[in-house]
A and B are shown apart, each in its own frame.
Chain A
Amino acid sequence: MMNVETESARDHVGELSLRRFRAGELSHERCAEVEQHLGACNICRTKLRGLVEEQREFEREIPFDRFAGGVERAQRVPRPRPRRVWAVSLGSVVAAAAIALFFIHVSPAPHNRSKGGRVEATLRVASAKSTVQRIVPPGSQEELLPGDRVRLGYRTADARYLAALSVDDHGEVTPLYPESGPALAVAPTRETVFLPDSLEFTGAGHERVLLFLARAPFDLESARRAVKAAHEKANGDLNALAAPVFAADQDMQAFSWLFRKP
């Protein structure tokens, strides 16, 4: 059972106080107290050394230019995260029934790197102004109107691992399904399965949505790196984005759609 201690029971300098001490923002009096304590307490000295090393490690892992670039971008433009909307809000029962029954066959298209096996992907766009939904085949481009929402679906004859991401003109890669960790394990299905909820893209410019279905497990980070590398190779031109490259032995099928955001 955890115990809620009283302040007097804390014999050491708290972690935040040590961090403030390291950052040089304690008052003269408090600073003198901490220095005195450090002189007599090996535990706190060790903890302080750990904080100094933590900062060194941080600077090795995230160099200043990368840090500054990310902060300036975040300050300039709020991070464009697709907004999920409950699927039930998409429209009428008729529309829901249409989603449940609908699937499309994927013809050979850009970013289709399958070595075999029946795997299909579908994408529907729901309009904010009507219950009409339009189908966007993989490999095509589509202009989104304000309030348009996107929903992804798949069908696979064998067990696969699925992940979906999007990348914008600036190379900002956003995981969609799942949002982190390993790709989702999906079972064989005879009918199209739609991923939960719909997506509404924020910001302006283009957004390319990519859906990967692999035979072997992979994680979001490897997919993110592959998409990022493809974006850099295309010099930021989402029209020219080649299929992201994964490990050579990865049997991966990729589908993509290019959107112009309103």
Chain B
Amino acid sequence: MTGRQTPIFQVIAGDKGLAATDARASLRELYERYGASVFRRCSYILKDRNKAEDAMQDVFAKALTHHASFRAESSPLTWLIKIATHHCLNLLRAERAGWHERFERDARARQVGEGGPQVFEMRELVAHMLSLVDQETQAVAIHYHVDEMTLDEVAALLGRSVPTVRKRLQEFAAVCGKEFSL
């Protein structure tokens, strides 16, 4: 597999929206190049395939809507991954709004559920740890540990300084260490 140098969106003209045929062609290119990467990111954060598919569609819809700025990106994939991460973390935060936790807590108090305790898988442990830190630290941790970006890359992507990114990672590592020591 070799890298290609062809600009990805050179077929797209104008800033007033895409013609339907151009939009379809661009969409197919996005699908083939980036579909799995974005879907995987959404699935990783949301842990639900249907919600991940919805979120993925939202992300690509944003790419089409903002195609002029998107086209100007040196790395469309990095842009998509950043948007997908941000979008999914926002969805998670909305889901964690009080009602869900309160209802589940009440339900646990009322009765014993079927099947006993849930199996605490490693992925859930990671998700649990993410939930213990703020959203910016979540994004930093995902881009660094999952995307395996460098500190410089994470800092540039999120518009933060390298020392700030390093500090966020250290905070995340401290939380993880605390969890593992329990």
Contact = CB atoms under 8 A, between A and B. Distances in A.
Contacts of B104: 184
B167 to A, nearest CB: 10
A71 B27 contact: yes
Contact of B36 (A24, A48, A57): A57
B76 A25 contact: yes
Most B Cβ at <10 Å: residue of A16, A59, A179: A16
A79 B35 contact: no
Contact of A184 (B75, B103, B147): B103
Contacts of B40: 54, 58
Given A15-B146, A67-B57, A74-B61, A62 B35 contact: yes
A108 B30 CA distance: 50
B172 A2 contact: yes
Most B Cβ at <10 Å: residue of A25, A58, A179: A25
B65 interface: yes
B77 A196 contact: no
B3 interface: yes
Contacts, number: 167
Q: How large is the interface on B (under 10, 10 to 19, 20 to 34, 35 or more residues)?
A: 35 or more
B99 A196 contact: yes
Contacts of A74: 54, 57-58, 60-61
B176 A2 contact: yes
Given A16-B81, A79-B58, A185 B111 contact: yes
Interface string B87-124: 00000000101111011100100110110000000000
B66 to A, nearest CB: 11
B8 interface: yes
Interface of A: 1-4, 7, 10, 12, 14-17, 19-28, 30-31, 34-35, 48, 51-52, 54-55, 57-59, 62, 64, 67-68, 70-75, 79, 84, 86, 159, 177-181, 184-187, 195-197, 217, 221, 224
Task: List the 5 closest A-B pairs by CB distance, nearest first.
Answer: A24-B4, A14-B148, A196-B99, A31-B3, A58-B36
